[in-house]
Amino acid sequence: MAASDSAQDQAAPYGGGSAGPKRVRIRHFQQAKRDGVKITGLTSYDHLTAGIFDRAGIDFLLVGDSAGNTVFGYDTTLPVTVDELIPLTRAVARGAKRALVIADLPFGSYETNPREAVHTAIRFMKETGAHAVKLEGGERSAEQIRHIVEAGIPVMAHIGFTPQSEHGLGGHVIQGRGDRGAAQLLRDARAVEEAGAFAVVLEMVPSEAARAVTEALTIPTISVGAGPHCDGQLLVWTDWAGLTTGRIPRFVKQYAQLAQTLEDAANAFREDVSSGEYPASEHEYE
């Protein structure tokens, strides 16, 4: 790395453009927590959106197993396979010049034992160009996290509501409620931190429980419906941009209405073709 590149890489970690590093690294997550700078993350599943979000200065892009719902049309994330996520992750990695790209390990690819987890993580790193992996589970996944980190691969953990366990949890139910739930959430958070995770996602937990975890940990916490007290926020981009139709999580703020925009555009195109308005007469293309 050239000296000028090194200087820029050590600059203020977030904000995009010339104020940020040429590439967000896991050390920048730690720096952001120390400095009180909020971290931003969006899911992405393709090259074009990855480039858009990257240029906007989004700090990390998660190629989530939420692709099961948004890309493949499954009812849950459970059917998603490694072979389905690898080409999506490769496309996102090619589109992101600055953001940290994180690959989600799908259900059934890491739970059996640490050796399986390391094998899956290595596949993503070798075949996609991702910079880190994410997996679900607190205490129950600590050994997998430890072995992946020992193999030299950064891990983002995920606790609270874990979608891959939705049947075991009884559906989309808020986790970490009450003294007992909050205590288990904190145990899970400490377990993944001790195992070497560089950050942890807290999904669908009460904001005060998330605050307690955030204050207790030295690694950053990333909220998915866990309130404002975490060190960063992550959203599924199709929810955030209004491309998802029907019911969306209550914690999502929609910043656009792309579903309606695309429907309007498709209607206009159909009408223009039907009326002969499109394409224009031949001489206009000469």
Active site residues: 203
Of 76, 140, 92, 143, the closest CA to residue 116 belongs to 143
| Whole-number Å distance between alpha carbons of 191 and 136 | 12
Burial of 218 (0-12, 13-18, 19+ CB in 10 A): exposed
Task: Compute the Cα dihedral for 221, 188, 235, 44 and give only its sign.
Answer: positive
Query: Angle, nearest 10°, between helix axes 207-216 and 178-195?
Result: 30
Residue 223: burial class (beta carbons within 10 Å; 0-12, 13-18, 19+): buried
Estimate the crossing angle of helix 178-195 against helix 142-150, to 10 degrees: 20
H or E segment and range at residue 100? strand 100-104
3-state secondary structure of 254: coil
